């Protein structure tokens, strides 16, 4: 019987995949988030679901960490990537050695799912930020199968997804590499779909949350479909609401997995890089945090393909607090949900305008772009 409260559940799906009776299914709630539902008539009270839960089994151990700033030497890959293109370099290293890569991609409806590939030509769909929680599906089960068949496996995901995987496997494997991301929190699929179709009307064909066509720091969101849409994030209603923590998953407001370092490597944007290094041309710079010896070895194995410099972790956290701290729920979050149930995408527009940065802030950004771009 699952003991995790709805407010604590991070939706990693480890409980569903570990259940020997297959009596746990995932169900979407009224806000668009997936939660486990147990058929108690088939439950044998083995407690395996609770043993793999990251929210119940909180990991308070913080391992020694080393931080780096890095960029991919391949400009094409770097341009296609959210930050500096380091995930791609690691993925190609694994795939070129006969390995398998797990990551998050869009499905045909532009929700996000976890998937795997052993083809170096197909991992590109895992590249780039997707500010939604991916449905893990059977990926923990498949990863275990591939690992036990002696394949080299790279598994990427949010911190809670990586912790869910580690608890599902319940042992360390030399042929497993794990990467988590610096996570601000995941948004509601219900809100996202409402927003998406309000912009493209129907049949979306392309989404990029982090287009660099306007720069890495002043990135844009792009949507293509029956009608195309492009806007700088600083002018986009959905992104204002997301960055203001208006409709994140409840557990994201008290993340059980952040900064504990169960992954080998943590990747993210190196915001503030212009303050600590000259490795900044506004094309994207990656933050790399190695949490294990395995992580250090992987970074060493790709050094010939990247430009990298060691940095101070505390400074990185100063400019990107999501590395260590959970996002705080916005005081208007409950009001938003009440309005959203009544007016759909109009609520996103309403609160996006309410949360828009002050005029003076937007003016400063405009002046910066005119001078330096």
The predicted-structure confidence for 17-54, as pLDDT tens digits, reads as follows 999 999 999 999 999 999 999 999 999 999 999 999 99
Query: How many other C-beta atoms lie within 10 A of the C-beta of residue 76?
Result: 10
Kindly state whether residues 135 and 209 are assigned to the same domain.
no
For residue 344, tell me if it sits in a domain. Answer: yes
Least confidently predicted of 1-5, 87-91, 126-130: 1-5
Kindly state whether residues 81 and 228 are assigned to the same domain.
no
**pLDDT, mean of residues 261-275:** 94
For residue 53, tell me if it sits in a domain. Answer: no
For residue 45, tell me if it sits in a domain. Answer: no
Question: How confident is the model at residue 138, as a pLDDT?
Answer: 97
Alpha-carbon distance 263 to 251, whole Å?
19
Q: Of residues 170 and 201, which shows the higher confidence score?
A: 170
For residue 341, tell me if it sits in a domain. Answer: yes
For residue 1, tell me if it sits in a domain. Answer: no
Domain span at residue 174?
66-186+249-323
For residue 226, tell me if it sits in a domain. Answer: yes
Alpha-carbon distance 134 to 26, whole Å?
13
**pLDDT, mean of residues 281-287:** 97
Q: Is the pLDDT of residue 1 over 90?
A: no
For residue 239, tell me if it sits in a domain. Answer: yes
Kindly state whether residues 259 and 362 are assigned to the same domain.
no
Percentage of residues in the chain with pLDDT exceeding 70?
Answer: 95
The pair phi, psi for residue 144, each rounded to 5°, is -60, -40
Question: How confident is the model at residue 261, as a pLDDT?
Answer: 67
What pLDDT digit, counting tens, does each position of 360-370 carry? 665 666 665 56
Question: How confident is the model at residue 294, as a pLDDT?
Answer: 96
Kindly state whether residues 173 and 316 are assigned to the same domain.
yes
Kindly state whether residues 150 and 286 are assigned to the same domain.
yes
Q: Is the pLDDT of residue 88 over 60?
A: yes
Kindly state whether residues 261 and 318 are assigned to the same domain.
yes
Q: How many domains does the chain have?
A: 2
Kindly state whether residues 360 and 266 are assigned to the same domain.
no
What pLDDT digit, counting tens, does each position of 123-171 carry? 999 999 999 999 999 999 999 999 999 999 999 999 999 999 999 999 9
């Amino acid at each position: 019987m699952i003991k995790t409260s709805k407010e604590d559940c991070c939706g990693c799906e480890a409980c569903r995949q570990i259940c020997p009776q297959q009596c746990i299914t995932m169900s979407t709630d009224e806000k668009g988030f997936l939660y486990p539902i147990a058929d108690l008539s088939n439950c044998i009270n083995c407690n395996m679901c609770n043993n793999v839960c990251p929210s119940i089994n909180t990991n308070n151990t913080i391992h020694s960490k080393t931080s780096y700033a890095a960029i991919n030497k391949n400009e094409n890959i770097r341009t296609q990537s959210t930050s500096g293109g380091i995930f791609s370099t690691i993925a190609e290293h694994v795939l070129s050695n006969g390995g398998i890569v797990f990551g998050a991609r869009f499905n045909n409806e532009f929700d996000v799912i976890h998937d795997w590939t052993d083809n170096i030509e197909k991992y590109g769909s895992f590249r780039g930020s997707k500010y939604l929680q991916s449905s893990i599906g059977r990926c923990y089960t498949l990863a275990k199968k591939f690992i036990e068949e002696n394949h080299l496996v790279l598994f990427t995901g949010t911190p809670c997804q990586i912790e869910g995987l580690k608890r599902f496997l319940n042992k360390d494997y030399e042929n497993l590499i794990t990467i988590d991301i610096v996570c601000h929190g995941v948004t509601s699929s219900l809100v996202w779909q409402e927003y998406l179709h309000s912009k493209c009307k129907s049949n979306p064909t392309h989404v990029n949350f982090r287009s660099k066509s306007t720069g890495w720091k002043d990135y844009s969101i792009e949507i293509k479909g029956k009608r195309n849409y492009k806007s700088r994030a600083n002018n986009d209603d959905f992104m204002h609401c997301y960055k203001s923590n208006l409709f994140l998953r409840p557990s994201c407001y008290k993340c059980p997995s952040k900064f504990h370092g169960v992954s080998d490597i943590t990747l993210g944007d190196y915001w503030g890089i212009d303050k600590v290094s000259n490795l900044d041309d506004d094309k994207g710079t990656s933050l790399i945090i190695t949490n294990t010896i395995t992580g250090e070895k992987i970074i060493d194995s790709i050094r010939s393909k990247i430009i990298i410099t060691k940095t101070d972790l505390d400074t990185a956290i100063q400019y990107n607090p999501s590395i260590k701290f959970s996002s705080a729920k916005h005081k208007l979050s409950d009001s938003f949900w009440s309005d959203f149930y009544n007016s759909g995408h109009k609520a996103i527009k309403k609160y996006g305008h309410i949360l828009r940065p002050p005029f003076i802030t937007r003016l400063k950004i405009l002046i910066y772009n005119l001078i330096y771009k």
